[in-house]
With several copies, the nearest count.
Chain A
Amino acid sequence: MSLEKPYLDVPGTIIFDAEQSRKGYWLNQFCMSLMKAQNRERFKTDERAYLDEWPMTEEQKQAVLARDLNWCMRTGGNIYFLAKIGATDGKSFQQMAGSMTGMTETEYRDMMIQGGRSVEGNRYVGEDGDAQAHRQPQGAAGKKV
């Protein structure tokens, strides 16, 4: 792979480039299918059976079943596609975004009301901001450890 990728040093961030797009092709196309009400119904009735209609990897299917959006993204998912899963579950974008941080819904919502996550320490991998790998998961989930 010889795409230039100047964006690999941003913590907690996967840029959806051609490589990710190729990896996640069928996962994302499956998500697109959930834009039809009847497909949402079929998916909800038997998630596994519906997923098995798509040439996704087993890992992608597991990530969807687990509703683990970070895992979905590592396997090539893009948030705008994955949002169709959240919509099917009746979740908002805020709930979906928050779910990727390990924070509870309330914690994440409160963070946003207080002005959102600070960019300080979160610009480059290796700084000490709250989005850095060594500080995951965040919020109550992190404190429990």
Chain B
Amino acid sequence: MAKITASVFTSHVPAIGAAMDLGKTQEDYWKPVFAGYDFSKQWMKDNKPDVIFLVFNDHATAFSLEMIPTFAIGTAAEFQPADEGWGPRPVPKVIGHPDLASHIAQSVIQQDFDLTIVNKMDVDHGLTVPLSLMCGELDPKTDAWPCPVIPFAVNVVQYPVPSGKRCFMLGQAIRKAVDSYDEDLNVHIWGTGGMSHQLQGARAGLINREWDNAWLDQMIADPVGCANTPHIDYVREAGSEGIELVMWLIARGAMSDIVDGKVQGPAPTVKHRFYHVPASNTAVGHLILENN
């Protein structure tokens, strides 16, 4: 049987990808950011998953205003790094897992989540930057990501975006789906985006270190309460783009301590926690949780 064994949470700041692609990781500005992922890269090697279920948001890349899916699951065999305007990132293409992805889609739709199934999608920094942070620099031609990835895109661009509570419930449905897959697979689920940042207007550059860390504390220890955070709190406290944090709740909801919407099992172990300001406009948050 397949099993979700761990969850990884990380910001997916595009400038981090650019710093890696342009060889700037040793600059003073960037050193502390990447140092926060040294543990994580080793952990990825020691705990190599068979599949990563990667929750991210598309940033007006694969999805224009023609069609805006609330939740979209990628069931294709592969996904190309997107050209977001600067040219595609020089990273390996992303290999999917069509069979597990289709299984999850079927199970989750039957659990009353109204997914959009996507068979053609270029993946932007929201998906590739977390992979780069966790796996290090890879040659786009000769290297490969360590395992297949199922991209799961959440609309956080056009309001209304799904509620934290809905995301948290979805995580539970995804775990149920994975649990019912009959092949033995070690699955990691990643929640990406955030933390506090605002990319627009006179309020651009907003960072809220206290709120971010309090939110992290609560997400770990009281995920049900955290999932009830209303949208407006994210906007007001963590900046207009801080709303991306609802995606972390999908990964958190998929952990095994959550049963029927409540904390009922043993708490996950916090293997690693990191917080740094800034990366470009953004506060970087990162967490690794292992199921017990």
A–B contact via C-beta, under 8 angstroms: yes
- Chain A residues packing against B (C-beta within 8 Å): 1-4, 6-7, 10-19, 21-22, 25, 28-29, 31-32, 34-37, 40, 69-70, 73, 78-81, 83-84, 86-88, 90, 92-94, 96-98, 100-102, 108, 111-113, 115-119, 122-124, 130-133, 135-138
Listed from nearest, the 7 A-B pairs whose CB atoms lie closest are A87-B85, A116-B207, A12-B202, A18-B102, A12-B203, A131-B203, A80-B60
Q: Which residues of chain A are within 8 angstroms of B264 by Cβ–Cβ distance?
A: none
Q: Tell me whether B202 and A83 are in contact (CB under 8 A).
A: no
B283 at the interface (CB under 8 A from A): yes
Q: Which residues of chain B are within 8 angstroms of A18 by Cβ–Cβ distance?
A: 75, 98, 102-103, 105-106, 117, 158-159
* Chain B interface size, under 10 / 10 to 19 / 20 to 34 / 35 or more: 35 or more
- Taking the nearest CB of chain A, how far is it from the CB of B70, in angstroms? 13
- Taking the nearest CB of chain B, how far is it from the CB of A82, in angstroms? 9
- Taking the nearest CB of chain B, how far is it from the CB of A47, in angstroms? 15
- Chain B residues packing against A (C-beta within 8 Å): 14-15, 18, 29, 59-61, 64-66, 75, 82-87, 98-99, 102-103, 105-106, 117, 119, 157-160, 180-183, 196, 198-209, 211, 231-232, 235-237, 240-241, 277-278, 280-281, 283
Q: Would you mind naming 25 contact pairs between A and B with Cβ atoms under 8 Å apart?
A: A2-B180, A2-B181, A10-B203, A10-B236, A11-B203, A12-B202, A12-B204, A16-B158, A28-B65, A29-B65, A79-B199, A79-B241, A86-B85, A87-B84, A92-B18, A92-B280, A97-B199, A100-B202, A112-B277, A112-B278, A117-B207, A119-B208, A122-B203, A123-B236, A133-B202
Q: Tell me whether B99 and A1 are in contact (CB under 8 A).
A: yes
Name the one of B85, B99, B201, B232 contacting A83, with C-beta atoms under 8 angstroms. B85
Nearest B residue to A131 via CB reads: B203
Q: Tell me whether B84 and A98 are in contact (CB under 8 A).
A: no
Nearest B residue to A94 via CB reads: B280
Q: Tell me whether A111 and B205 are in contact (CB under 8 A).
A: yes
Given A21-B65, A35-B83, 5 other A-B residues pairs in contact with their CB atoms under 8 A: A78-B60, A94-B280, A97-B199, A100-B200, A117-B204
Complex CA gap A40/B158 in Å reads 25
- Given known A-B contacts A2-B182, A18-B158, A87-B85, A116 and B206 have beta carbons under 8 A apart: yes
Name the one of A90, A100, A135 contacting B204, with C-beta atoms under 8 angstroms. A100
- Taking the nearest CB of chain A, how far is it from the CB of B102, in angstroms? 3
Name the one of A28, A84, A100, A119 contacting B201, with C-beta atoms under 8 angstroms. A100
Name the one of B29, B158, B202 contacting A136, with C-beta atoms under 8 angstroms. B202
Nearest A residue to B59 via CB reads: A80
Q: Which residues of chain B are within 8 angstroms of A35 by Cβ–Cβ distance?
A: 61, 82-85
Complex CA gap A110/B101 in Å reads 44
Nearest B residue to A138 via CB reads: B202
- Taking the nearest CB of chain A, how far is it from the CB of B150, in angstroms? 13
